[in-house]
Amino acid sequence: MEALKIVFMGTPEFAVGILDSILKNNYTVVGVITAADKPAGRGQKIKYSAIKEYALENNLHLLQPTNLKDETFLSELKALHANLHVVVAFRMLPKIVWEMPEYGTFNLHASLLPDYRGAAPINWAIINGETKTGVTTFFIDEKIDTGAMIMNAEIPISNDESAGQLHDRLMALGSSTVVKTLALIETGNLETKIQIESENLKTAYKLNKDNCKIDWTKSGTEIHNLIRGL
């Protein structure tokens, strides 16, 4: 098996910790893909994503496509000759992108799949009063967070832990889990596990103005969980 040549895709701070770990473990990252720059805040100044800042600091080859099916972007991606894509907190990929590398495309998700698929798994685990959570690596398929699982790792959630604190602990756990996943792919010792569907799965809905409101008729514990989860 040839050495791994990785294209990393991600946007927020959470993804930075994982990319940093991949590089510190001497893996070759041939390209980084992140979101296009956009104005943010009151002054509407152009803001770089956390991953772009990191890529620039570390002289990594950077692509910022607005359309993942754009022919120019696809030809630039192919020209990197990656044999593996690693995705952390990015966006849904078209099949033409995740099918491209020889060893596939895997994602790190901040929950114990199949529970908490979706945009805000760290927040909802706390809001729902879970006592444990974790991370899962899985191969991407047509749907969101449904692919064959490679590895997972679990940690407890304490009663007073905030989403920010849990984010940082899961970033560290995710970093080690991604590195272990890379080692499995590298050695060919890979056994995936299909996600079992059930009606009782919990979902990590995108946070919005409605689901972030405090309902004062709820119990003190539920209100406490909502506040620390946000």
Residue 5 makes CB contacts below 8 A (sequence gap 6+) with 28, 30, 80, 81, 82, 83, 84
State residue 41's pLDDT score.
75
* Amino acid present at 154: E
Question: Under a CB-based contact definition with an 8 Å cutoff, are residues 21 and 54 in contact?
Answer: no
Q: How far apart are CA 212 and CA 230, in angstroms?
A: 8
> How large is the greatest C-alpha to C-alpha distance in the chain, in angstroms?
59
Question: Under a CB-based contact definition with an 8 Å cutoff, are residues 37 and 48 in contact?
Answer: yes
State residue 177's pLDDT score.
98
Q: What is the pTM (predicted TM-score) of this model?
A: 0.94
State residue 46's pLDDT score.
84
User: Which is nearest to 178 in space by CA: 97, 86, 43, 111?
Assistant: 86
State residue 42's pLDDT score.
79
State residue 40's pLDDT score.
76
Query: Which parts of the chain have pLDDT scores under 50?
Result: none
State residue 93's pLDDT score.
96
State residue 80's pLDDT score.
97
